[in-house]
Structure 1
Amino acid sequence: MTIAAIDALRAAGERGDADAVGELLAPDVVFHSPLTARISFEGRDEVVALHRDIFAVLEDIQTSDPLEYGDQRAFVFRARVRGLELEAMNLARCNDQGKIAELTVFIRPLPALAALFTLLPPRVATRRRGPVVGTLVGLLAAPLAFAFRTADRLAPHFLGLPETGSTRD
């Protein structure tokens, strides 16, 4: 039953359908933030609202077949954020009823994470705390995102390594 929930989650993600995601979640679901270990989103309503925010900033979501390990399932998804290719792994655990009880997301590369960091936290803060706090969060996120993008560009030079991979990152 859990693989069916994960397949349905992948399909809902590719469609950007937060309501369909909500149908798959346990009432007490926990979503662990990919941006900081200090934040988790708890409860179906909050995780659905978060997915609405996520789907508003990510484009062209494509998922891979899931991997299975005990009671956990994982799948990779690719998307675009502000024109940058983002790659992430979604780790999910389902409860005995086949509902998704826990989600953890890991994201790379750094420039795409930086772009997501400038878009998602201000959007979530505006939804939860209002436009003034959302604007403040956006102002705080911008210099950090700039630092992340710059570090990514300079890292190969400082480490004495050749650049590899896509130049779109």
Structure 2
Amino acid sequence: MLDKVLGGLVWSGGMDAVEELRAAGERGDAEAVAGLLADDVVFHSPLTDRVTFEGRDEVVALHRDIFAVLEDVRTSAPLEHGDSYAFSFRARVRGAELEAMNLVRLDEQGLIAELTVFVRPLPSLATLFANLPPRVSARRRGPVVGGLVACLAVPLAFAFRTADRLAPRFL
């Protein structure tokens, strides 16, 4: 990919995949994400380090689930360092505003080889945890397992949202 010069800034060809990822995220378009991913892409969850999602098909399916629970995704301009890029985004999940950072590593062909996401604040992360894993579990393991995951996750989200409202009064 050729480098582009925009307003005196050098924009590497690899940035194209990141820009397209940002645009797909803002549209909630998981199918557009598919064309940006390497076959052996790895997605590192913001919810646990015990689960990674591997392969284009699984990461695209995960993005369908993500886009089903996130609303009003707005992304920032990316930063670049070598084959790695970072950009933030804001979105809502069940009315809770969240802020996240995406780290994206590209392979030699300019395709996304690795995605890592970090989310804050904790109550919003907990709300995401109460909504996304049950959906993913139901898709991968069936509705009974999805329901079980929801039974475990929903009380945590409630507890963290409640603590977030009360704890600052004591700080």
Partner of 1:5: 17
Partner of 1:103: 115
Q: 1:38 aligns with which of 34, 46, 50?
A: 50
Q: Does 1:26 align with 2:26?
A: no
Paired residues, what number?
A: 159
Per-residue CA deviation, residues 26-60 of structure 1 (Å, 9 max, x unaligned), is: 00000000001111000000000000000000011
Q: Does 1:144 align with 2:153?
A: no
Q: Distance in 2 between matches of 1:106 and 1:157?
A: 27
Q: 2:60 aligns with which of 42, 45, 48?
A: 48
Per-residue CA deviation, residues 66-121 of structure 1 (Å, 9 max, x unaligned), is: 01122210001111111111110000000000000000000011121111111100
Q: Supply the AA of the counterpart residue of 2:132.
A: L
Query: How far 1:138 sits from its partner (Å)?
Result: 0.3
Query: How far 1:153 sits from its partner (Å)?
Result: 2.2
Which residues of 2 match residues 20-169 of structure 1 at below 5 A?
A: 20-158=32-170, 160=171
Q: Supply the AA of the counterpart residue of 1:51.
A: H
The secondary structure found in structure 1 opposite 2:64 is: helix
Q: Supply the AA of the counterpart residue of 1:110.
A: L
**Which moved further from structure 2: 68-77 or 149-158?**
149-158
Output the TM-score relative to the length of structure 1: 0.91
Q: Distance in 1 between matches of 2:35 and 2:121?
A: 30
User: 4+ runs of 1 displaced by more than 4 Å?
Assistant: none
Identity %: 75
Per-residue CA deviation, residues 103-146 of structure 1 (Å, 9 max, x unaligned), is: 00000111211111111000000000000000000001012112
Q: Distance in 2 between matches of 1:155 and 1:4?
A: 43
Output the TM-score relative to the length of structure 2: 0.90
Q: Distance in 1 between matches of 2:147 and 2:94?
A: 19
